[in-house]
Structure 1
Amino acid sequence: MTTMQGKLLCEVFKSSRKEEMYLYVDKRQGLERIPEPLLERFGAPVSVMTMILTPEKMLARTSGADVMAAIEEKGFYLQMPPAKDEYLLDLYRTPTEARY
């Protein structure tokens, strides 16, 4: 892993096949450690951003520490789309104001 004193230069790719599916990889390694079956399912990767990750950084659905650990272990971190049922439950749980 390319670390700069606990930091990782990370590139994020979005899937061309599945909405809200993202691959996080070490910028210097790129996609070389991604298994071919995963790339086939992921579709053509579209680069969306490069960022410096630290273990303390909080991302929308995970932490920098989790992403860095996965990249160290597997060569990538795969962020899956949220389950549709959870999304609908969140909408249901959102308080609404009744107006009469």
Structure 2
Amino acid sequence: MQAFVYKSLKKADTYVYLAGREDFGRIPDPVRAGLGELRFVLEVALVPGRRLAREDADVVRANLVSRGFHLQMPPRADADPLTGDWGTDA
């Protein structure tokens, strides 16, 4: 399955995977409005066994089949151990 990935120019680290190139009509209007302008960044084959940096490829494929899109939000700060206070003054 091919996926077309677009970066939100309004929301940092937010990406939309689409099942069809420029098929923005699949994104609900309130979600689309919050994303602002989208810029194409990548076409990727989501074959079984494919690994993605921040998403589970199986979940992305399932969302593309059921909804036609998958929304990748920025990682939560509380889930990233590198963003916490380590108690150093460095």
Q: TM-score, normalised by structure 2?
A: 0.82
Instruction: Work out whether 1:52 is the aligned partner of 2:45.
Output: yes
The residue number in structure 2 matching 1:21 is 14
For 2:12 and 2:69, how far apart are their aligned partners in 1? 18
Choose the corresponding residue for 1:10, options 3, 7, 15.
Answer: 3
Choose the corresponding residue for 1:34, options 2, 12, 27.
Answer: 27
For 1:13 and 1:81, how far apart are their aligned partners in 2? 14
Provide structure 2 residue ranges, at least 5 long, that are not aligned to the other structure: none
Provide structure 1 residue ranges, at least 5 long, that are not aligned to the other structure: 1-7, 95-100
CA distances 1:58-80 after superposition (whole Å, capped 9, x unpaired): 10122221111001111111011
CA distances 1:21-76 after superposition (whole Å, capped 9, x unpaired): 10001135622211111110011111111111113211012222111100111111
Instruction: Report % sequence identity.
Output: 35
- If asked which structure has higher relative contact order (CA below 8 Å, sep 6+), I would say 2
Q: TM-score, normalised by structure 1?
A: 0.75
Which stretches of structure 1, 4 residues or longer, exceed 4 Å deviation after superposition? none
How many pairs are equivalent? Answer: 85
Choose the corresponding residue for 1:64, options 57, 60, 74.
Answer: 57
The residue number in structure 2 matching 1:43 is 36
